[in-house]
Structure 1
Amino acid sequence: MTRVAQSDPDSLEHVAGKVEVLHDHFKDAKSKMTGIAGQNPFGDIRHPDNRPGEHPSEAAVTTLHSFRDRMHGQFDAAAELMKSTGGALREAARALRETEEAAKDSLTVKDDSLQV
């Protein structure tokens, strides 16, 4: 006996809401990743060989800013994915409701073989 999966539009919308909350969590997490603000916390570190113009502390700050920028891009991508997934779930719930309504209006029983 084959079992047909049941789809529940209310459950889909509930899950959509949960997924859309993840969008907000990603945005919040992104805002907390600030990198270095203000004075360089690494201080004025000079290269051990006293190479003119090279400051390892400035390179560390630049690297951290680059890392922050790339992570912000990842958080943005994840947030947009959650937003679009929530929208797709809501659209699926809407389609299920419309299909159920259409089926109610167009179902015709020609004999007693279907007992509801």
Structure 2
Amino acid sequence: MATAGEPLEPVAKDHRACDGSLTRAFQFLGKRWNGMLISVLADGPTSFSTLKRALGISDSMLSDRLTELARAGLIERSVDPGPPTVVAYGLTVSGRALLPSLLSLGDWARENLSDEQCRA
């Protein structure tokens, strides 16, 4: 114990903390459908109806998620005025930059997580 005039001993601190960037990434990509939508779009731009069939998601949820991903700059919506008018959704440069990480995460899950573990 230090007496008057002596410096205090430093208190040992535990410097482990979750990286803020990683936290934000999992909060965003961990939101239901976001990561899977990006994964489906890895094969190239596609229509709303194709995304809906691929994921088995409701119209309103898909619309919400597409809007959220577009606001984040990960996907873009393109419109070909036709006729017929064709709307497609595709990944931006930023969205494509996520693909290696998502593919690695999928590989890890196949090797390390069983279906039963995911349902628990």
TM-score by length of 1: 0.27
Compare the two structures and name the one with the higher strand fraction: 2
Larger Rg, first or second structure (1 or 2): 1
- Structure with more contact order per residue of length (Cα contacts < 8 Å, sep ≥ 6): 1
TM-score by length of 2: 0.26
